[in-house]
A = this chain, B = another copy of it.
Amino acid sequence: MTANATSDILKRTFQKFAMRAPLDEEDREAFFALPFEVRAIDPHRYIVREGDRPSGATLIINGLAFRHKVTVEGARQILSVHIPGDFIDLEGTLLEVADHNVQALTACQVAIVPRPAMLKLIDTHARLGRAMWIDTLIDASIYREWIVNVGRRDARSGTCHLLCEFARRLEAVGLGEVDGYELPMTQEQPADALGITPVHVNRILKDLDREGLIVRNKRFVRVPNWEALRKVGGFNEMYLHLDKFARPPIAAGASGAPLSR
């Protein structure tokens, strides 16, 4: 199962890169020749710690992880949430020291590629390197949107925006159902992502639920009307730069996919 999941995600990841820069057969071979070690990570375990000198690049096979920083006063800010198929620290390959933490949200399986192998790959395969560069540029674009989300949207709107972003990204890698998705987070995590308190997240979610914008069942979020949620969140997916990376085959057949227009 693990082996299959791993090779499936690797294929998918290569596909993603191939959509971001034109890659040839040699690129493919080099990519699949990368040495890696699959490791299981317990929930809440740190994958990267601020101050670390990263020893490898990490690709999520399954599970979720999040990136965060803690202020001197001890307040935590979540910077991004990562899903299967995300390389969570390509930047760690090139920067000397991590300026933030990455932590497993759920139990994860990750593939770790040693730094030297990664460096050699981007050195010898310019186009693959460029695809990865573009990947980090898209990450940066998502950070920019989060600055807006935290700086200029109120809690209600920001929450809806976040829910739309997760939905769209999960959909893009073939996870997430048409009518909603599993969000394995406590209310503390969206709070830390939105720069508000868990108590306030609770009230917002309750309101959204009462208004019928979302329907919660345990941690499954069902969205009866994506367009409505999208509107409240002011969500415009351009910043995800998915245009060249539409629904993968797996999601085909699912007509009326969540957020695609």
Residues of chain A touching chain B, judged by Cβ–Cβ distance below 8 Å, are: 67, 69, 71-73, 75-77, 79, 91, 94-97, 99-100, 122-123, 126, 129-130, 133-134, 136-141, 143-148, 150-153, 194-195, 234, 236, 238-239, 241, 243-244
CB neighbours (8 Å) of A236 from chain B are 72
Q: List 19 A-B contacts (CB under 8 A).
A: A69-B148, A71-B148, A91-B141, A94-B130, A94-B134, A96-B241, A96-B243, A99-B239, A100-B144, A122-B130, A129-B130, A136-B137, A140-B140, A143-B143, A143-B147, A150-B150, A150-B151, A151-B195, A152-B195
Given contacts A95-B134, A99-B239, contact A77 B234 (CB under 8 A): no
CB neighbours (8 Å) of A243 from chain B are 96-97
**Chain B residue nearest in CB terms to A94:** B134
Identical chains bound together, number: 2
A150 to B196, CA, bound (A): 11
CB neighbours (8 Å) of A79 from chain B are 144, 147-148
A91 to B122, CA, bound (A): 18
**Chain B residue nearest in CB terms to A150:** B151
Given contacts A137-B91, A152-B77, contact A238 B69 (CB under 8 A): no
